Amino acid sequence: MARLTRTAAMRPVVIIGAGIQGCATAFFLSQRGQPVIVLEKDHVGRHASGVNAGGVRRLGRDIAEIPLSVASMDWWNQIDQLLDIDEGFHRQFYVKVALDDAGADLASRRIQQLHRAGFQHEIWVDRDQLLCRIPHLTKSVFGGVLVEGDGWALPWKITRAFHDKAAALGAEFRTPVTVTSIDRSGEHWQVTTDKGMIETDIVVNCAGAWGAQIAKMTGDNLVIEAHAPMLVITDRQPMFLQSVVGVMGGTLSFKQLDNGSMVIGGGQRGVADAARNLTQIIPAGLSSFVMTAGRVFPHLRDVAILRAWAGIEGYTKDNLPIIGNGSQAGIIHGFGFSAHGFQLGPAVGEALADLAMARQTRVNLTPFSPHRFAGSSRRPLGVKEAL
């Protein structure tokens, strides 16, 4: 496929979506002197990137995703200097505890699988060591799989910081502006919005749960589903946890913020209505992961839940994101992060900036190719596109 020759003198790269992926891409492009316009239909960090659980983990990743996650951790470890912020990343450890024999078996198989693939970052920690590090854990814990140096961050703070830094470096953010169509015009792309049209050579699709709609406008039929994972936050409790805790073979994400509140999630979904930007909470789902949290930390059984929410996220069929060139020159996709894209954000921003500038990416993006799905075939060009 013919690729455009891209230089900093070209017209601005147009990024659709100001979540973490769009803002991080804008940051890396701006840092390299490439003009950028970001179009966002709502406001910066309005969706998944502003409301997620803030888990920054390599733990438990699909093996295909580990190199990207490891590359991202390099950026997380220097996020304060990168974005001129304080305490952007709470570097702690992340552990998935085994609560029974089945969990311990799963842990052992997981670690062996990682070793075979050449990764050593997930380690088994036995019951006594774990209780020493997290004294409030249930005494019936078997042990856990742990990654040193994983942790958490405030999602809105990081997404906003990528935005602020990109803007300071010259990126232009236009909000609220909705992209309604994308058409080929000679060698360029015309991105039509509810506030006018922009001509560009490169479009980067960071539209999250709406990414497939944008892809379709460019001729790529990529399927994702919108879902709404839910979270709760509790009242403030005395500090007892300096790590993030999950459950082996179960679904729990548990952390304590600096003010003592706990953010708890665990795979349970509400109802997502992406067309209307709405989510609905399903209380039975909330009680399922809150009960698991009570099993892991018995002293918390009577804690008050202050608030629950859900965010709209795009899921792919294989739960790996779609990152790569579209089927037409000048179209780049980066969406479908399937509820684990916050940690990946910095490395994804770097990779999308590399693709936009036709540079070699640091990480092999083949596992994330938009073309890996059957049915992701190119749609026939419309009349305007074919001109």
Ligand X SMILES: Cc1cc2nc3c(=O)[nH]c(=O)nc-3n(C[C@H](O)[C@H](O)[C@H](O)COP(=O)(O)OP(=O)(O)OC[C@H]3O[C@@H](n4cnc5c(N)ncnc54)[C@H](O)[C@@H]3O)c2cc1C
- Residues of this chain that bind ligand X (CB under 6 A): 16-22, 39-42, 46-49, 51-55, 178-179, 206-210, 214, 229, 231, 253, 265, 311, 313, 335, 337, 339-343
Please report which residue ranges of the chain form alpha helices under DSSP H.
Answer: 20-31, 48-51, 66-76, 79-83, 101-116, 127-133, 155-168, 211-217, 283-296, 345-356, 383-386
What distances in angstroms separate CA 124 from CA 65, 140, 148, 268, 379, one per listed residue?
21, 16, 11, 27, 48
Distance (Å, rounded) from C-alpha 46 to C-alpha 44? 6
Pair of tokens at residue 368:
């994330």
What's 136's DSSP letter?
Answer: T
What's 172's DSSP letter?
Answer: E
Non-local (6+) Cβ contacts of 126 within 8 A are 143
In the complex, the smallest distance separating the C-beta of residue 310 from ligand X, rounded to whole angstroms, is 6
Nearest residue to ligand X, by Cβ distance, number only: 19
What distances in angstroms separate CA 294 from CA 80, 252, 303, 308, 381, one per listed residue?
34, 11, 9, 17, 55
Closest CA to 179 of 10, 17, 361: 17
In the complex, the smallest distance separating the C-beta of residue 75 from ligand X, rounded to whole angstroms, is 13
In the complex, the smallest distance separating the C-beta of residue 108 from ligand X, rounded to whole angstroms, is 25
Closest CA to 226 of 156, 340, 311, 159: 311
Residue with smaller CB distance to ligand X, 143 or 321? 321
Pair of tokens at residue 367:
């596992």
In the complex, the smallest distance separating the C-beta of residue 364 from ligand X, rounded to whole angstroms, is 20
In the complex, the smallest distance separating the C-beta of residue 160 from ligand X, rounded to whole angstroms, is 12
In the complex, the smallest distance separating the C-beta of residue 43 from ligand X, rounded to whole angstroms, is 8
Report helix, strand or coil for 179: strand
Residue with smaller CB distance to ligand X, 53 or 296? 53
In the complex, the smallest distance separating the C-beta of residue 371 from ligand X, rounded to whole angstroms, is 19
Non-local (6+) Cβ contacts of 328 within 8 A are 184, 218, 219, 220, 378
What's 382's DSSP letter?
Answer: P
Residue with smaller CB distance to ligand X, 103 or 265? 265
